[in-house]
Chain A
Amino acid sequence: MSTTIETAKRITDIGPPRYDRFLPPVIQRNYGTWKYHENPRAGVLVHVAESGEKLFTVRAGTPRLLNVKTVREFAALADKYCNGYLRFTSRHNIEFLLSDPAKVDPLIDEVQKLGFPVGGTGNAISAIVHTQGWIHCHSAATDASAVVKALMDELYPRFTHMDLPARLRIAFACCLNMCGAVHCSDIAILGVHTKPPRVDATGLSKACEIPTLVASCPTGAIRPSETRTGSVPVDVEEAQCMYCGNCYTVCPAMKINNAESDGISIWVGGKVSNARTEPKFSKLVIPFLPNNPPRWPEVVDAVTKLVDLYARNGRKHERMSEWVERIGWPRFFRMTGIPFTKQHIDDFKGAGETYKRSAQLRQI
C-alpha cells in the first residue's frame, strides 16, 4: 500500500524546464527578430532587433568546475545588473544579459573583481572546452583542468583581446573518447595512453563478459586465450593494440592507465564552421608530451608557440587550418621545428586517403 502512494507522488520524465521561462523580457519581445550584432570590445556583444531594442551581453571565462558558492555569486550579479537573467555558452563561458547600457561597465568591473576575465568573443581564444581528467574520470590519461588552467594563464591576453587573424578554438580531452568534439578544433590537446592494457586476471573473471570484451577491440587485438593456461582468459596481441582504452571502458580489469607512459598529444587545424572552407578534423602535430604536473610546462610551451606562430603568420579571417593549408604541411613542420615522424603518418583504415598523391610540392 505504502509503495503505491510513494509511486503516485514520484515525478519522472518531465524533461527539462521550458527555456522561455528563463528568457529576459527584451529577448521575449524580440525573439527571432534580431537584425544584426556588433562586438564593440572583447567580451561585449550588442544585438539590435528590428524593433530597435538592444540586448547587451557580457561574456566571462570560467574554469568549468564551479563551486555552488561561485554560482550563487554569478546569480547575485545577475540580480544586481540583469534583473536576474544570464546564460552559459557551449564553451563554459558565462554570459550576463543586460538591457541597460549604463550597467555594462560597472558589471564588467565586478565580474573582473570576482576573478573572472571578460572576453572570448570575435577573433580571440574562447574558453577551452575540456573534460574531467583526474578530478572525476576513470579513463583519463592526463588531468584536464590543470593543463587548461596553466595554458590559459599563459594565453590570457588572447582571451581578453581580439587580435588574432580569426577565432581560435582550443579543446582538451583527457582520452580518446574525446568528450566534447576536440577532434575538430583549431588546436586539440588530447590525453593518450601509449602502452597496451595490463590484464588483471582476478578482476576479469569477477567483472567482465569475455565475448563483449573481445568484441570491444577495434583492431581485434584481444582474443580468448587459446591455451587457457594460467588464470588469464584473454590474450592481448600487443603489436595490434593502439591503446584506445575501449576495452577498459567495457571491462575495468583491462588496466590502461599507466603513470609512466600516459601523456599528451597535440593536434592542429580542425574546424566545425562551414565558413569559407568545409568542416575538418584536426591533424596530429606532436605525438607525445609527458605528464608533468602541476603545470605541464612542455604542453604550455608547445601550444603557446603554435598560437604565436599562427598569430604572426595567419592572414585576416584565416583560421588555423586555412593558414596551414595555404603554406602547406611541410613548411608548417619547418616553421615550428617540430620533427615529422612515423607516428604522423596514418596507418588506420582509410589511411591511404591522407597520402600526398601528386607532384605538387613547394620548394624544399
Chain B
Amino acid sequence: MTEVKKHPTPLLDELEKGPWPSFVKELKRSADKPMVNDLLGQLERSFEEKVGHWKHGGLVGVKGYGGGVIGRYSDLPKEFPELAEFHTMRVNHPSGWFYTSDALRTLCDIWDEHGSGLTNFHGATGDVILLGAKTAEIEPTFAKLTEAGFDLGGSGSAMRTPSCCVGPARCEWACYDTLNACNDVTHQYQDEMHRPAFPYKFKIKFAGCPNDCIASIARADLSVIGTWRDEIQVDQAEVRAYAADSVDIQKEVCDLCPTKCVTWKDATLTVDDADCVKCMHCINVLPKALRPGKDRGAVFLIGGKAPIVGGALLSSVLVPFVKMEPPYEDLKELVNAIWELWAENANNRERVGEFIQRIGLGNFLEQIGLEPKPEMVAHPRTNPYVFFDPEEETESERSAEK
C-alpha cells in the first residue's frame, strides 16, 4: 500500500482529549485508509468553515431494491476524491440488538474489505449503519451480507426497519414478545420495506411496557406498547422489605401515583386496579415487589413523528388492548387497512399522523373499520361544529315511510 498523505486536523485533534470516548480516535484508527483520511480532511474543513460538505440525491442501491442505501457525495470531490461517492448502507439488525462476537466479526470483515470500516451501532432507525461505500462496492457488499444471513433495512418512502426494546429476553416487564413480533412483522413486509411505494416513511416500533424504552410513541407511525388489563401482582413481603430498607412507600410510591390508586396502610400495599392507568411508576420503584398483571397484551397508537413537514406529533390511541400472540393477525390486518387507505389518499410526504389530522380521526376510523372509543381521546370535542350524515333519515322520515 502506498503511503497516504495525511490531512492535518488541528481542530479535530482537540476532540481526542477528555474522558468520553472520542469519535476522532475512531476515525484516526483507520487514517491510513484513503477514504477515512479524506473524511478527516473534509470534516476539518467543515469545522473551519462551520458548514457541511455533503450532497444528497441520485439513485444508488442494490438491484431490485429501492431502499437500504442512502446516496451521499462530497461537494468538494476535487480536494477529497475518496469522498466523491460515500454512501450509507443500512443493515437490518437482529431484534433487540443481540449479537454473537462471530456475527459482529463477520460484519466487520465484510465492511473492512468493501467500505470505509466506519460504522454506527446503531442508527436512529435501529439498523447497523455502514458509512462510506463507493457505488461499485454496494452490490458486492450486499452479496456478502446476504450470504452471511444479513439483509438491508428500509429507507425512503417505505416501511422503515421495525425495531423493539430488549423485551422478554431480559426484562420482567415485557407484556408481550417484542422481539418475536418485530422479527415477524419485518419478515412479513420485506417487499414494503425494500421497495418504496408509500406516500412517505412508515415506522413501526415495539415497546414491551409503558416505559417505552424504544421511544415508540414519539417516533413510530404505529407504536405497539405493552400493557395489561388485570391486577398488578403484589408481593407484600417484598414491599415490606423495601420499606424496611430504604424506600418511603407513602412518599415515593403512593404520593406519586397519578391516579392515587395505591395505598399503604398497616404495612400492606393496596392497588385499586380499576383506577390504575398502567403508568409503571410503582413497579419501577419496587421491581422486586410489584409486577404487571398476568392478562397481558398491547395498546396500539398511531401517528407519532418528528416535526417535518407539518409539526411533531405523539402517537394517539387506536386500539386500547390487543392480545399480542403469533402470528399477530390483529396487528397485520390493521396495518394492511391503514396502508391501503393512507397509500391511496395521502399527499406526497404526508405521514399517517398528518393524514389523520387532515381527514379527522373519526373519518379515519370509519375508513379502516374501527369503532370510536373514549380511550382514543383526551376528552370529547369542545366545539359545536359537529357534522351529521345528510343521507341519514330523521325520525319523522322513518315513520312516514312506515
Given the complex, which residues of B lie within 8 Å of A138, measured CB to CB?
Answer: 52, 54-56, 72
Q: Type the 1/0 row for A104-138, where 1 means its CB is closer than 8 Å to any CB of B.
A: 00000000000111000000000001011111111
B39 at the interface (CB under 8 A from A): yes
Given the known interface contacts A12-B64, A63-B20, A348-B311, the answer about A295 and B348 at a Cβ–Cβ threshold of 8 Å is: no
B99 touches A87 (CB 8 A): yes
Q: How far is the CA of A117 from the CA of B20 in the complex (A)?
A: 7
B22 touches A63 (CB 8 A): yes
- Contact among A23, A67, A97 for B27, CB-based, below 8 A: A67
B394 at the interface (CB under 8 A from A): no
B22 touches A149 (CB 8 A): yes
Complex interface: stretch among A228-236, A273-281, A302-310, A331-339: A273-281
Q: How far is the CA of A350 from the CA of B312 in the complex (A)?
A: 12
A90 touches B165 (CB 8 A): yes
Q: How far is the CA of A66 from the CA of B65 in the complex (A)?
A: 27
- Contact among B23, B26, B308 for A244, CB-based, below 8 A: B308
A345 at the interface (CB under 8 A from B): no
Given the complex, which residues of A lie within 8 Å of B174, measured CB to CB?
Answer: 32
- Contact among A62, A116, A146 for B121, CB-based, below 8 A: A62
B102 touches A85 (CB 8 A): no
B76 at the interface (CB under 8 A from A): no
B169 at the interface (CB under 8 A from A): yes
- Contact among A11, A65, A262 for B51, CB-based, below 8 A: A262
A67 touches B47 (CB 8 A): no
Number of interface residues of A (CB under 8 A): 120
- Contact among A18, A90, A246, A293 for B11, CB-based, below 8 A: A293
A17 touches B149 (CB 8 A): yes
Given the complex, which residues of A lie within 8 Å of B169, measured CB to CB?
Answer: 19, 23, 27, 31
Q: How far is the CA of A177 from the CA of B307 in the complex (A)?
A: 7
Given the complex, which residues of A lie within 8 Å of B310, measured CB to CB?
Answer: 218, 349
Interface of chain B residues 338 through 386 with chain A (CB within 8 A): 347-349
A152 at the interface (CB under 8 A from B): yes
- Contact among B26, B54, B146, B256 for A66, CB-based, below 8 A: B26
B16 CB, nearest partner CB in chain A, Å: 9
Given the complex, which residues of B lie within 8 Å of A32, measured CB to CB?
Answer: 168, 174, 177
- Contact among A13, A135, A216, A349 for B151, CB-based, below 8 A: A13
- Contact among B26, B29, B171 for A34, CB-based, below 8 A: B171
Cβ-closest chain A residue relative to B278: A274
Cβ-closest chain A residue relative to B172: A34
Cβ-closest chain A residue relative to B28: A67
Given the complex, which residues of A lie within 8 Å of B21, measured CB to CB?
Answer: 61-63, 115-117
B95 touches A16 (CB 8 A): yes
Q: How far is the CA of A65 from the CA of B27 in the complex (A)?
A: 8
B119 touches A68 (CB 8 A): yes
Q: Type the 1/0 row for B58-79, where 1 means its CB is closer than 8 Å to any CB of A.
A: 0000111100000010000000
Can you name 8 extra interface pairs (CB under 8 A) apart from A75-B104, A133-B52, A262-B51?
A: A19-B96, A47-B172, A115-B25, A117-B21, A136-B54, A146-B23, A176-B308, A262-B50
Sort A-B residue pairs by CB-CB distance and give the 7 closest, nearest first.
A153-B18, A75-B101, A178-B306, A274-B210, A32-B168, A181-B219, A152-B20
> What would be 27 A-B contacts, judged by CB atoms less than 8 Å apart?
A14-B146, A15-B187, A16-B151, A19-B94, A20-B179, A27-B170, A32-B168, A68-B118, A70-B29, A71-B121, A90-B163, A137-B52, A140-B52, A143-B47, A176-B306, A177-B308, A183-B306, A183-B307, A244-B307, A257-B52, A272-B218, A274-B278, A275-B211, A279-B314, A291-B50, A293-B11, A349-B310
Which A residues contact B (CB, under 8 angstroms)? 10-23, 27, 31-32, 34-38, 47, 55, 57, 61-72, 74-76, 78-79, 84-90, 92, 94, 97, 115-117, 129, 131-140, 143, 145-146, 149-150, 152-153, 156, 159, 173, 176-184, 207, 212, 215-216, 218, 244-246, 249-250, 252, 257-260, 262, 270, 272-277, 279-281, 291, 293-295, 316-317, 348-350
